[in-house]
Structure 1
Amino acid sequence: FFRHDVLVTNSLHKIAIFGQRVPDKLVVEPSFGAMDGVNNFLRCKRQHLQGKPVFVLGNEAADLDSCVCAITYAYLEYHLHGLQTVPVINIPRSEFIFRSEVVWLFDHLGISVPDLTFIDEVPLHDYCEDGKGRILLVDHNKLAVKQQHLSPMVYGIIDHHVDEQMHVDTCTHRREISLVGSAATLVVEAFTESDVGQALASNDMAYLLLAPILVDTVNLDPAFHKVTPRDEAAAQFLSSRHARDEDAGRLLFDTLQKEKYNTARLSIDDSLRKDYKAFKFGAHNVGIASVLDSIDDLIAKDAAGFHAICDDFADRQEVVGLVIMCAYFEGGDGGDFKRQLIIVQPPKANYDAAAAVFQTLTSSLEGNEGEELAVTVLNPNISGLLPSQAVRFYSQGNTAFSRKKLTPLVGTWFA
């Protein structure tokens, strides 16, 4: 069997892994690295879209498990059955930066993000209407509400959630739904079912597949009641094939946990977009963004442009007030948990409305109404930050007040 990046030869002998016969010796002769092969495969999407594409669609959360499963299972089906697969990350490309641990892993392994396909870049409904395209679902077994019209296209599922009994009649290719810790475990089992798959699941591909299994099972720790024997077997199989030392799994898990909360790659605008909600207080639309940075670290991303960035963000969101809730650990992991607040009066907004909202928010925080939050006015001395009467900074002594608790309190200030 030959495809553009791998030649497989083997001699078989009887070793049981996942109940399958596996090779005694696999000789993989790639013309380049495993991720080069994946990247070349990703670049095939243009040709695949012109034929009879099979979209391998992850779920709308687009977490590590979903993204990795979409890519790896699509890659397997392309090699194994010659399907014109196109892995689809089920979020807009602009939101991918928020999946910090996925961004790190793909960068670490050299997966070409520009060559990935995101849900806003391919008109799945057109392929549904034409009857040319098909869908393999990974990491979910029921299409999202806004994607229900694609149901006739679903002809395969690999998932580890409760079976919703959907797409039963259309799944003629494969329907594997099992309550294991990670969908990647089921994808690994699919790789082990053939000599070709086992040859592909080596080196960086094995490392890539191992990542979501470790994350979803909390590093295979039985104390968290997430890991199953199948997850353990999959992890053991992958660990024997990624050519890294015995501590690699633990280091990978620790790094992914750390990267999940790494905001270094986020701009100020990214930080505001990542966890943002809009509310109506009285007659006014006010936005509240939760960010995982201190005031100093957030503004230091672009101190000179901070005010303009907040103004442009508020203008796009059509709000007359903007609250930024900062949450962080002082000194990094292991330090004390802290909260801070920034109140912004957007200059592009209706001035009277924006001024009224700003006045209500700041006077309430600094008066008896905000006593429960235990705020203290801050005057950050950040190089490049221009002085402004339209921005106020606070430390929040009562760290129990998350956005969920703050919102109803703020509502009373406008009643």
Structure 2
Amino acid sequence: MKSLRLLPSALLASLSAASPAQIVLDASSGKAAPTRTEDIGVGHFSEWSRATKKQFLVDWQAGKQSEWVFVMGNEAGDLDSMTSALTWAYHLEHSTQNTSNPSKAIALLQTQTDALDLRPENKLALKNSKMTSGHDDLLTMDELPEDPETLAMKLRGIVLVDHASPLRKWERAKILSIFDHHVDKDTAPDASPRVFEKVASCTSLVARQMFDEFYALPEEYHLPHELLELILSAISIDSGGLEQATQTDIDTAKRVFERSQWADKDLYEQMEAVDEVLSDAKKDLDDLSVRDLLRRDWKGDLVDTPSPRTPTVSLGFASIPYSLDEQIEKTGFGELFHWFAVHAAWTASINTDIDICLTKYKIRDENGKKKKIREIVLTVRDDVRIDKVQADALFKAVKRALESDKSLGLKKWHRVDELAPRQMVWEHQSGAGRKIIRPIVEDAVRKWDMKQGKVIE
């Protein structure tokens, strides 16, 4: 049993249940809506974040977008991505504030404000960092005052963290720097810093660079302990309390740890305890609806095809830690048709042509041992960019690509005979998640000739 006694009282206190949101009747819709009862964040980090957001919106109103750098992670918005963006934005601004070329930098979380709390570990970590409840001190996608495709061309530039290449909507922006711990996609070769390294947490790469530059400054700027402990939280949950850490993760954690409020603790014991608390929070998803599970960990973008008629399609991937059967039970009717109805409403709202849901769960085998099972749910719509004929053929192409990959070992789902056209569900035990499945699907789309209805060899 891992001990929680090493955690500071603030972290333990944050685990207590929050008081229920006050509910009022929204006169415009007749529906109940939560009131705005957030607590304003305290401490330098929250004050900086709130002031930065306000200044960006003021500058946008004044047409000064070109003065700003957006630091953005991936659209799944996990703790690593969010922390990396906040850390580098804070560093960019503070490290240049006494120079002749100061930076205005802000972290953009590429998710909706109301989706931030769909990751309980994020909510807990932000609360422990004394940020404003309701996330009014964070900039999210639904708060951008201008369409990203237009805004991208006006910005000073963007920095990618935990993300190897920008989403299509940001591709016209100048990429200033990249930090990622995945595969280098050769994006923006002239970006600087441009850091790709296999580590447990991208936050380790960002924090390492921050400290390298921080100690080289003629005068140190203030590093708030709330930011330092947020950094340690991200590294901890991604590395299993440093048990699965690389040497880079460990070395960076040590540098951050010695300046944090936890400095008088044992590094490994403290990181293990933090990981336990955050990991427990991460699993607390039972109250989420099917729609919330679909959008909680979703990544997607436009993918090019060889067809002049339909040069791009929208492709999305959701990762859900529940079996499809468990999700069906969460629907109002508890029926298969209702899960696909909820799924269809969600994908329609985000204009997705092809959606892949990746589920994972555990069962006990005949010997009582737990084994991991994964499922792949494939659907293709015909009401966004492609018509029925194209959708039928594209569904077949993606289905064939997945079934042809023998390493996946796909087996048909036990209720496959009940599925509608352009719906398919498999189960497998290969361990392949989004990082494996996504390239297979994207490659099938890129090679598929929309006009001829066939795959280009």
Scaled to the shorter chain, the TM-score interval is 0.5 to 0.7
Write the distance in 2 (CA, Å) between the matches of 1:141 and 1:186.
13
Describe how 1:59-70 pairs up with structure 2 within 5 A. Answer: 59-70=74-85
Identity among equivalent positions (%) equals 21
Cα distance in 1, alignment partners of residues 89 and 297 from structure 2: 30
Residues 329 and 254 of structure 1: CA distance in aligned 2, closer, same or farther (over 3 Å):
farther
Deviation at 1:32, TM superposition (A): 4.3
What value does the CA root-mean-square deviation take over the aligned residues?
A: 4.6
CA, structure 1 residues 302+47, in 2 after alignment: closer, same or farther (shift >3 Å)? same
- Measure how far apart 1:256 and its partner are: 1.4
Alignment of 1:39 onto 2:50: yes
User: Given residue 141 of structure 1, which amino acid in structure 2 is its aligned partner?
Assistant: A
2:201 corresponds in structure 1 to: 182
Q: How does 1:13-412 map to 2 (within 5 A)?
A: 32-50=43-61, 51=64, 52-81=67-96, 82-112=102-132, 113-122=135-144, 123-129=147-153, 131-144=154-167, 146-147=168-169, 149-150=171-172, 152-169=173-190, 171=191, 173-192=192-211, 193-195=213-215, 199-221=221-243, 224=244, 226-228=245-247, 230-244=248-262, 245-246=265-266, 247-263=269-285, 266=288, 270-271=292-293, 274=296, 292=322, 313=342, 316=345, 407=413, 409-411=415-417
Could you report, residue by residue, the CA deviation over 1:276-334 in whole angstroms, capped at 9, with x for unpaired residues? 9xxxxxxxxxxx996759999999x999x999x98994783599xxxxx997899xxxx
Residues 405, 315 of structure 1: alpha-carbon distance in 2 compared, 3 angstrom cutoff: same
CA distance in 1, matches of 2:209, 2:235: 15
For 1:87, what is the secondary structure of its paired residue?
Answer: strand
Inter-CA distance 290–90: structure 2 relative to 1 (3 Å threshold): closer
Indicate if the aligned counterparts of 2:235 and 2:249 stay in contact, CA closer than 8 A: yes
- 1:66 to 1:110, Cα distance in 2 relative to 1, 3 A: same
Alignment partners' CA distance in 2, 1:37 and 1:180? 29
Conserved 8 A contact 1:54-1:85: yes
Q: Which runs of 5+ in 1 are unaligned?
A: 1-30, 277-287, 320-324, 340-403
* Matched residue SS, 1:88: strand
How many Å separate the matches in 1 of 2:52 and 2:130?
Answer: 14
How far apart in 2 are the matches of 1:289 and 1:187?
A: 25
Q: Match for 1:231: what amino acid? A: D
Matches of 1:191 and 1:407, distance apart in 2: 48
Deviation at 1:167, TM superposition (A): 0.6
**Distance in 2 of aligned mates of 1:160 and 1:275:** 18
1:295–1:326: 8 Å Cα contact kept in structure 2? Answer: no
Unaligned runs of 5+ in 2: 1-41, 97-101, 299-317, 349-358, 374-409, 422-457
CA offsets per residue over residues 95-128 of structure 1, 9 Å max, x none? 3233221122112222231232223433332123
Cα offset for 1:87? 0.8
Contact 1:104 1:259 in 2 (8 A): yes
Cα offset, 1:268, TM superposition: 6.6
Question: Is the Cα contact below 8 Å between 1:239 and 1:249 reproduced in 2?
Answer: no
2: distance between equivalents of 1:46 and 1:34? Answer: 19
Q: Partners of 1:241 and 1:76 in 2: how far apart?
A: 15
CA contact (8 A) 2:120 2:282 kept: yes
Deviation of the 1:147 alpha carbon: 3.6
- CA distance, structure 2, for counterparts of residue 75 and residue 160 of structure 1: 21
Distance 1:255 1:312 in 2: 35
Shift of 1:270: 2.7
Matched AA of 1:316: A
1:175-233 per-position Cα deviation (integer Å, ceiling 9, x unaligned): 23333332212222233222579653342211111122222222222xx4x412x2211
Q: What is the TM-score when the length of structure 2 is the normalising length?
A: 0.52
